[in-house]
Structure 1
Amino acid sequence: MENEIVVNNKKEKSETVTQLLYQQPNSNLLGYRLRLQMYNMAKVNPDSSYQAWLDKHRKTERFLTKLLSAKQVDRLGTSFFVSGLGKTLKELGEAPVIFNQERTNKSVIRLKNHYFNQGYFNTKVSYELDSIKPKKISALYKVDTGKAYVYDSIAVMVQSTELDSLYKTNRRASIIKKGAQYNAAKLDEERDRITSFFRNNGAYDFQKTYINYVMDTLKQNHTADIYLNIDNKSIKQGDTLTTEPFKLYKISRVNIFTSNTSAETQVITDSIAYKDLNIYSKGPLSYKPKVLRNAVFIDKDTYFSDIRRLITSRSLSNLKVFNYPTIEYIPDPADSLGKSLIANITLNPRKRITFNPSIDVSHSNIQDFGIEGSIGFMFRNLFKGAEILDVSFRGNIGSSASRYRSVQNTFFDILEYGADVKLTFPRFVFFSNQIDKIIDRTSFPNTSLSLGFFNQQNIGLDKQNLTGIYNYSWSYKRRNTISFDVFNLQFVRNMNPGNYFNVYRSSYNRLNEIAQTTNTNPDYLDQNGNLNIANSGADLFMFDVLSGNTNANEEDIRTILSIAERKLRLTENNLILASNIVYTYSNRFNIKDQDFFTFRTKLESAGSLLNLLAKSNNKVNTSNKNTILDVAYSQYIKGEVDFVKYIDLGNQNVLALRAFAGIAVPFGNSDNIPFSRSYFAGGTNDNRAWQSYRLGPGRSGSILDFNEANMKLAFNAEYRFNVSGPWNLALFADAGNIWNALDDIEDEEMTFTGLESLKDIALGTGLGIRYDFSFFVVRCDLGFKTYNPANEPGNKWFKEWNLSKTVLNVGINYPF
């Protein structure tokens, strides 16, 4: 079956209209009805077919009965091999859509109602059926809307005197304007607007149902007079229904009940009044009154407001020491006029201490097998100010990939362990007086102090990592989030730099190849004629080449210079003291929203404070770099922009787009960017046709084991569509690369030299399979190298577009 809709002699393709039809054609994938074909492939009655087959093959039946049993032979009819496959195909497939006259008539009515609600009161709808192929019908719906009705006069009648006065203060904000086209959705939106305005300004018991419209279209000139009526409150007493005018209520008292104590139980042993807030507790009060006051936006002597109730609920939940709070209002019996409310807020504390153990089995490009475990403790309300202390210990033992192994007879040759401590305050600290003047408490401010230590003993390059962060974060207007690292400290100490070439074998192999064609000093070679690592033969050979003491050609010298620079970067100790600010904006309404965009930008600066300290001690290293604690500190400026856009195409079809750009520029005490702050390309959340660290820089061909640079561009597009139930497919295209820019790398194949370097952008395309568990998604992506800038001219496009060079990516949730 096929559908076509023509509105006023123009073909209508918008999903809003086409989805109104009760009968939709079978779904298709790029024009092919895959699910219908899967359904048709399934046998109609596999059980009966199996029994009929047994009846025709009695010898086979007797043989199977002797081999198994009569009961087991019967069960084969319900097994996956006989009927299971057919059932699976039916579940994943889609039954053919059969034409139904009654549904067609209902579609006509629905189309007429749709255009009526848009002001076309004289809409005419008809349909024609045409048998375009055997057993296939095409339905053509013809819609003649006629002329739309517009608003002529708009009259408002408010029965309640107090509501009438309140309405007049906000009448200009009305969505309904004279001369505008009639629209039922806009009329309902105006009802919502009025209801929200009233309930945020004291009308506690007002509901949307008290607003109704009367429309007059008797003028016969396609105009409509609208009468908006706001009725009085209805009160049912027994069998009698009476009305009375609405009142505007003020808050006379604000009560908070803690420790699972509610207003009804009255089991109160401690209470305190603080800035018009009455706090009651069962047992000694465990919270500082100021903290509760700052989290409550319902104030005494102010009008009842839904918004204030919502913000209060969010604010109390944001403290993360209470379960979702209960906020209720009751009439104040002390008010003889009946226009006062008492706000009762009930808080149910979470457990003071939480223990979180976890264990995982992991796999990465470094380790073939790993067991990772962690133990975490969370201490809530540490200093009675809703502070949260997180303490965690983590460790990992694993077996490295064979190419990294230095001791072949040891299975577990990777050991990692560390600890992290984080203290979070639900407010600004240290500079609170100054910051509070700029950022108010409705932005849900947080301050966090964290310290971490991590020790790695893996693949021969052992490291110790010390981190410390002092962070402010807040949000305003709900969709805007700002995170500001006042200080972000990282100290990386390399414990075994002499083992570099045992780990980065591709660098060593390339170096060794050059040594075989160069007048290499024999003292640098082992008994097999290869560069000696243990006696620093590889390092001495590089020194000779770069000093001009060999007959190496220009290309080999450039390659060795690149290897030497990367070795220095990956084995040097790093001291980074940075500050950064991250701004994020998203117009996503909820997690199920599939039509939104997210914008994120980051600016980071490192080394300025350390530079001031270093000038006072005047200590430099052999490279004439200023040092602190005998370590050359890093100086750089880094900027990033990340944009994600989701476009809802309907019928569970989504187009997801992403664009990312980032660059880190060294200056002062640095000639390059520390490895931990650089960029890499490839991997499950980047360009999925390349493995992590295996793309770039530029068109160099990833000659190193771990390729990184200080500039990155990435562009991703993914078309996602549903196949059946939780099963989804995706077609994707990932483009991007990394380059060196404005640092000490001079190799033209690795550096970004201008717009002409954009031809080094790699393109990967592929297919993804997803299974949606509702709360998370498991995905499997197959990436093909469609355009590889590292290949020779003429071999860049589609030369690696085959299954043998496919990259498999397995991940949790969507890549962006």
Structure 2
Amino acid sequence: MFRSVACTFFLGMMLSFSVLQAELYAQDAQVQQADTTQNVVRVIRFVGNDNVKDNTLETLIRTHTNREFLGIPRFTPWYFIWKLTKRFGEPPAYLVPETVETDMERIRRYYESIGYLEASVDTNIVEFSPNKVEVSFLINEGQQSRVQTISYSGMPEFPDPELISDFYLDSEMTREPINDTTFSVNRAYSENALNNERNRIINFLKNNGYASVQRDSVLAQIKRDPSDNHQLDVLFYINPGNLYHFGDLSINLRGPDAQTRYEHADTLTGEPYTSGGKKIFLQKEAEAQTKFSLLTDQLLFKPGEVFDNNRYVRTVNEFQNLGMLNIREFGLSEDGSLPDYSKPEIPVLFSLQTLPKHSFNFNLFGLRRYGFGSGAGVTYTNNNLFGKAENLQVSLNGSFEYVGSETLQNLDETFGGGDQLFRSFEVRGDYSLPRLIFPFAGLDDNLFFSNSRTQYSLSLARSNQLFFDVNSDVRFNLRYVVNHNERFTSFLDLVELDVLDSDPSEQFRQSLIQQFDTTSFEYRRLLEDFRPQVSSILRYTFRSQNTDLIQRNRGYYSEYSVALGGNIPHLIDRYFVTPDTLEGNLPSPARISNNSLSYSRFLKLTADYRRYVPLSNDAVFSYRGFAGFAQPFGGSSSIPLNQRFFAGGSNDIRGWDFNSLGPGGIAIEGTPPVVGGEIKLVGQAEVRQTMISNFLSADWIGAWFTDAGNVWYGPRNSFRGGQSQDLLNEGKFYIDEFYKQIAVGSGVGLRLDWEYLVVRFDFAFRIHDLAPTESWFTNKKLYFSFGIGHSF
């Protein structure tokens, strides 16, 4: 059943795609009138490529077959549709002898670049049926050459001799030193490795004063070993040019309008701004409303110092990341023109312009949950609050929902009142600075921490909802964000505090009693989750990525975090509310209510790794592994609801709605709403194949995916007694049982991939279902999910 439905879906999808793609070809009269006597390329083979994969060679050549579905050889459905209709689908890929000749040279040149210097390429074209040919590229790789040693000649002397010795040893090519400038290598010859080494030499020299170095300043000579032609020695000839220093620096700042009137100017010289008598010239318009100190704070170099290209480029990035200005012009000259290397000093120019300082945004929306309602919001943004790129954003949102008595009666038979009007409002303020503040302010001078931001957020919300009133929900967060480089980012939530003062109504309790026994696990868990409470988090997150976050078609993405929860309310409880006595709860803030706020202390760890492996030019294999663990400690026995793990949903295990899976082996019908768990394991895999390129400005991508995982109660979860004990045991993580409770979903999907947006449609089956009993391939229902962006 699963196979037939999946195949039917894909075939239907392919037919739909062919109709869409027809518009791309129907207007091409030349294609429709093509000479049918030409040979069509149906098969491409590579013979003799023992050390290079076929997929790699396919990316080099321009001779190609028609688009293959999921990389299956000779399975070209769009071409077959074109053969039947002569109008829809994909026209044939004809053989062009000149292109084959060029492809041979491309392959030979590639082999030469990876060390097969004597490689040769020939072709064999066979017509295996009328007008259909097989093109074989016959490759004689030969023996791969290896680099024995690498030497450097012409490198200038530096005051610190360890600087140059460390530079040599940091190379990916060098191994043991033979003398001060010669090192053993013993690795396969690679043009790419030699180019990387040349760029490394150039960057090193530019970052240490030799600003005029260009690509032709570093040349590599390759010498064969007389006793073995496949053993090579490499010598880099280096012409560093002259040593340069930063000259005078000019910074001018315009306001958001188009006029230029620099009413304010200043000149800085001497420590801590410059050295060697150099100057910083500052100009700004009054409309810029910016302090000169903001501009000088972004400088990572000092006029008069030895030229450092890395610090210069990072300074440009510092200005760009302020978010309240644009860079109109910058350069290594007084007027932004090309640098003049005839003098020993290089002046620098930054010409900047601020963005509008104030902005408002209004929005109106409708909503429908139990009844009909509406809401409105307004957001004010100040883009440069105190003149040092501080960003302040204040928003106010409110909504109401009218629910009739008949609807309320249907929701809860015990309801005996009339119509209800539910209301909610939230006020929120966000404030950020483009720098680190205490206690990390000193790190701003370190290049690894220079691109940083401090963020504050504070919100207050109140609402009255069905059977549940929130007297106050106060949230505060202090976060430090550091973009160390293009790959590494750190997040430190020094304070994340959430105070929830709520009043579940008597009707809420009665509704729970109707569904669950008062001694049941579900009843006790829900009362625990919706009681008034306060939670705090101290969390560090490290993110490493080397992929396009929209397309996700190569590289990897990983994120790891560690968090400690409950420490702030614990300290307040112990040292301020009742000194030297632990009550386990706090009074309501500002005495808004008579409720006591409970809290729990816990440790939380997460690890998320995703990899994207290109299978061909049009196909990608991606996989993801996620593990999460949360453990209460210090007398606490549970984790706050907003810190638990949940399973299911369009971005998680498809085939299950959000929070409808688990914990453990608990059947879906028996799962209380909004439960979650303290342990989570997820594994996902997906193959994506581009079916149509650039139709309606989007790539149409088919996908086949498999997701597996679940959540479980942790070892410290201690809801005990009666039925609760049985249900708790069913949802707990046991090392010898958990693998039986892994839910598995699989299916197919469609993605519409625009340059900055991916829209996703997925259809999944439950391969291994957990409800009502653990079973394989018994649930025939098809589940649909919609999402923005790739699932992972």
TM-score for the superposition, normalised by structure 2: 0.77
Aligned to 1:347, what secondary structure does the other structure show? strand
- C-alpha distance 455-331 of structure 1, shift in aligned 2 (>3 A): closer
Q: State the one-letter code of the partner of 1:739.
A: W
1:688 and 1:783 in contact (8 A); partners too: yes
- C-alpha distance 35-494 of structure 1, shift in aligned 2 (>3 A): farther
| Aligned pairs (5 A) from 1:253-332 | 253-259=248-254, 267=262, 269-273=264-268, 275-276=273-274, 277-283=280-286, 286-324=289-327, 326-330=329-333
In 1, Cα distance between the equivalents of 2:732 and 2:616? 43
Task: Give the share of equivalent positions with the same residue, in percent.
Answer: 22
1:472 and 1:484 in contact (8 A); partners too: yes
1:743 is aligned to 2:739 = no
1:790 is aligned to 2:786 = no
Q: State the one-letter code of the partner of 2:496.
A: N
**Which of 203, 213, 237 does residue 206 from structure 1 map onto?**
213
- C-alpha distance 27-350 of structure 1, shift in aligned 2 (>3 A): same
Report what 1:4 is aligned to: 45
Report what 2:656 is aligned to: 690
In 2, Cα distance between the equivalents of 1:148 and 1:316? 48
In 2, Cα distance between the equivalents of 1:590 and 1:668? 40
Report what 2:195 is aligned to: 188
In 1, Cα distance between the equivalents of 2:370 and 2:651? 19
Report what 2:487 is aligned to: 479
- C-alpha distance 272-580 of structure 1, shift in aligned 2 (>3 A): same
1:455 is aligned to 2:455 = no
Aligned to 1:462, what secondary structure does the other structure show? strand
2:247 and 2:345 in contact (8 A); partners too: yes
Report what 1:602 is aligned to: 561
Structure number with higher relative contact order (C-alpha < 8 Å, ≥ 6 residues apart): 2
Aligned to 2:69, what secondary structure does the other structure show? coil
Report what 2:753 is aligned to: 772
Larger radius of gyration: 1
2:448 and 2:484 in contact (8 A); partners too: no
Report the alpha carbon displacement of residue 343 of structure 1 after superposing the two structures with TM. 1.0
Structure 1: where are the runs of 5+ without partners? Answer: 45-89, 232-244, 512-541, 547-560
| Aligned pairs (5 A) from 1:637-676 | 637-668=603-634, 670-676=636-642
1:619 and 1:627 in contact (8 A); partners too: no
In 2, Cα distance between the equivalents of 1:687 and 1:230? 56
**Which of 681, 687, 694 does residue 713 from structure 1 map onto?**
681
1:462 and 1:496 in contact (8 A); partners too: yes
| Aligned pairs (5 A) from 1:157-176 | 175=173
Q: State the one-letter code of the partner of 1:772.
A: D
1:5 and 1:11 in contact (8 A); partners too: no
2:255 and 2:286 in contact (8 A); partners too: no
In 2, Cα distance between the equivalents of 1:109 and 1:412? 78
Report the alpha carbon displacement of residue 423 of structure 1 after superposing the two structures with TM. 1.4
Measured against aligned partners, the alpha-carbon deviations of 1:146-204 in whole angstroms (never above 9, x if no partner) come to 33445578787769999xx9998766667586765543333433332333233323333
- C-alpha distance 390-266 of structure 1, shift in aligned 2 (>3 A): closer
1:37 is aligned to 2:40 = no
Report what 1:19 is aligned to: 59
In 2, Cα distance between the equivalents of 1:35 and 1:103? 23
1:248 is aligned to 2:243 = yes
Aligned to 2:777, what secondary structure does the other structure show? strand
Report the alpha carbon displacement of residue 24 of structure 1 after superposing the two structures with TM. 1.8
In 2, Cα distance between the equivalents of 1:774 and 1:713? 32
1:107 is aligned to 2:86 = no
Report what 2:349 is aligned to: 344
In 2, Cα distance between the equivalents of 1:228 and 1:410? 88
Report the alpha carbon displacement of residue 285 of structure 1 after superposing the two structures with TM. 7.6
Aligned to 1:323, what secondary structure does the other structure show? strand
1:757 is aligned to 2:764 = no
Report the alpha carbon displacement of residue 268 of structure 1 after superposing the two structures with TM. 5.1
1:128 is aligned to 2:94 = no
In 2, Cα distance between the equivalents of 1:210 and 1:448? 45
1:405 and 1:459 in contact (8 A); partners too: no
Count of matched residue positions in the alignment of Structure 1 and Structure 2? 693
- C-alpha distance 194-358 of structure 1, shift in aligned 2 (>3 A): farther
2:300 and 2:445 in contact (8 A); partners too: no
In 1, Cα distance between the equivalents of 2:642 and 2:789? 25
* Range with bigger deviation, 446-455 or 468-477: 468-477
Measured against aligned partners, the alpha-carbon deviations of 1:629-661 in whole angstroms (never above 9, x if no partner) come to 322223222222221222222313222221112
1:644 and 1:656 in contact (8 A); partners too: yes
Measured against aligned partners, the alpha-carbon deviations of 1:85-141 in whole angstroms (never above 9, x if no partner) come to xxxxx4xx4322223333333322222222233343433322223344454322222
Measured against aligned partners, the alpha-carbon deviations of 1:724-780 in whole angstroms (never above 9, x if no partner) come to 111111111111111111212432222213331221111111112111121111111
- C-alpha distance 592-773 of structure 1, shift in aligned 2 (>3 A): closer
In 2, Cα distance between the equivalents of 1:784 and 1:728? 20
2:494 and 2:538 in contact (8 A); partners too: yes
Q: State the one-letter code of the partner of 1:651.
A: N
* Range with bigger deviation, 720-729 or 211-220: 211-220
1:148 and 1:222 in contact (8 A); partners too: no
Report what 2:790 is aligned to: 814
Aligned to 1:495, what secondary structure does the other structure show? strand
Report the alpha carbon displacement of residue 294 of structure 1 after superposing the two structures with TM. 2.6
In 2, Cα distance between the equivalents of 1:103 and 1:370? 65
* Range with bigger deviation, 445-454 or 275-284: 275-284
1:800 is aligned to 2:779 = yes
Report what 1:388 is aligned to: 391
Aligned to 2:123, what secondary structure does the other structure show? strand
Measured against aligned partners, the alpha-carbon deviations of 1:429-458 in whole angstroms (never above 9, x if no partner) come to 34356x549966743232222110223444
* Range with bigger deviation, 759-768 or 201-210: 201-210
Report what 2:496 is aligned to: 488
Aligned to 2:542, what secondary structure does the other structure show? strand
Aligned to 1:307, what secondary structure does the other structure show? helix
Report what 2:133 is aligned to: 137
**Which of 339, 355, 358 does residue 353 from structure 1 map onto?**
358
Aligned to 1:113, what secondary structure does the other structure show? helix
In 2, Cα distance between the equivalents of 1:779 and 1:295? 41
1:695 and 1:707 in contact (8 A); partners too: no
Report what 1:497 is aligned to: 505
RMSD over equivalenced CA pairs, Å: 4.0
* Range with bigger deviation, 212-221 or 100-109: 212-221
Q: State the one-letter code of the partner of 2:348.
A: A
Structure 2: where are the runs of 5+ without partners? Answer: 1-41, 175-183, 275-279, 589-595, 694-698, 720-724
In 1, Cα distance between the equivalents of 2:364 and 2:90? 41
Aligned to 1:330, what secondary structure does the other structure show? coil
Report the alpha carbon displacement of residue 289 of structure 1 after superposing the two structures with TM. 4.0
Aligned to 1:26, what secondary structure does the other structure show? coil
Aligned to 1:24, what secondary structure does the other structure show? coil
